[in-house]
Chains A and B, each alone.
Chain A
């Protein structure tokens, strides 16, 4: 127990140090130039952080999920885009690790991921599915010599040009229905990316997420045997929403800290008088507390049920609703906190080059409601609420 606690603490300390020393000083340039936060990723690689969740028997850090969530929060406080890249990578690794089912290819793959600190991106969205991750157009297609291939048109692939491997959702076979999906992992030497759109967005600019046509040839062993629908409900959906919400909370927390620093600076101007702006900081703290409570309780609930035998609770509708609501609530509350911070810091917050700048924070968190569109999640919830009993 104490060994794993020490290991988790050492991992978190290392991520905090990288957040402060590497991610923070580069955050503005990453945002301005919409460039990949390469130095942060390299520093995380040097610490072995890309295999944090991989079991130690496969060469990974075997760090607890809750610690990885805290790492997303800490990176989010310093650079939202770096935190998002880290979170998205961890989501793929955690999804593969939780659905290994003793598949030999994937055990070897995780060993290689750990020893080479390979960065994994995902190709889940697809043109022609209306933003529904539960449907695919592209299929695992047999070619010569027992190999398989696919061609997928993806409207966004975050850090696609910087990844070593891709995790891709596809129909199981050319004659499978759109909902009959599997997940495959392909490596850089097996795929080709054709970039089909540009990347100059409002926020999360460092994630570098243009559209691509992805083509690959690979071995059928690289198909994860577990149906993707099961991977989604037992792992990918809750893990995604928990890690994303942790980094959004990190961004909102830094915006709040900047607003508080602004009020403190104002208080120093007139000793003995509580400045009016301090009252607004108090109001903002209650908004931040709501976000913190929702994010923290969702993490605790997931940890409590993540490794139950059969993972039965994770496949219930009540639990799907719970984590869908985490996504909706946190993606709406995080920009609200950032906007509150902007209201407090005023022009000093609006300018991009002051210690109280919160423009990047606001723009980064505005992406939250689009990443798996909230309206789509509401549609799913509306349907689940018709039949679920206790929610």
Chain B
């Protein structure tokens, strides 16, 4: 999953750094992702993983790193399976 997330970030976050070299826990905002670009990342993630982030997950913390995005996606998939 982290590789897919990384590819989406590379395609949509318009980062000034090489996304392939970012650690999974690196702060994406500190690495130069703007709030505007983060929305494009969210839309691409929803499209790619065929799910919707609820409002409670649409916060800066959730999209702060590859790791935190993966945790949110895992949680959403678990919820989808349970329902």
Q: In whole angstroms, how far apart are the Cα atoms of A317 and B60 in the complex?
A: 9
Which residues of chain B are within 8 angstroms of A230 by Cβ–Cβ distance?
A: 60
Other-chain contact of A389, B39, B52, B59, B60 (Cβ < 8 Å): B52
Q: Which of A74-82, A174-182, A296-304 contacts B (4 or more CB under 8 A)?
A: A174-182
Q: In whole angstroms, how far apart are the Cα atoms of A380 and B36 in the complex?
A: 7
Other-chain contact of A316, B30, B39, B43, B59 (Cβ < 8 Å): B59
Interface residues of B in 43-65 (CB under 8 A from A): 43, 46, 52-56, 58-61
Q: List 8 A-B contacts (CB under 8 A).
A: A179-B30, A180-B32, A230-B60, A315-B61, A316-B59, A383-B39, A387-B39, A387-B58
Contact B31 A177 (CB under 8 A): yes
Number of interface residues of A (CB under 8 A): 26
Q: In whole angstroms, how far apart are the Cα atoms of A384 and B35 in the complex?
A: 9
Other-chain contact of A179, B34, B42, B52, B61 (Cβ < 8 Å): B34
- Does A145 make an interface contact (CB < 8 A)? no
Contact A386 B60 (CB under 8 A): no
Given contacts A177-B16, A230-B60, contact A389 B55 (CB under 8 A): yes
A139 to chain B minimum Cβ distance, whole angstroms, is: 13
Q: In whole angstroms, how far apart are the Cα atoms of A244 and B60 in the complex?
A: 25
Closest chain B residue to A385, Cβ basis: B39
B50 to chain A minimum Cβ distance, whole angstroms, is: 15
- Does A318 make an interface contact (CB < 8 A)? yes
Given contacts A230-B60, A386-B43, contact A317 B55 (CB under 8 A): yes
Contact A179 B32 (CB under 8 A): yes
Other-chain contact of B55, A180, A227, A229, A316 (Cβ < 8 Å): A316
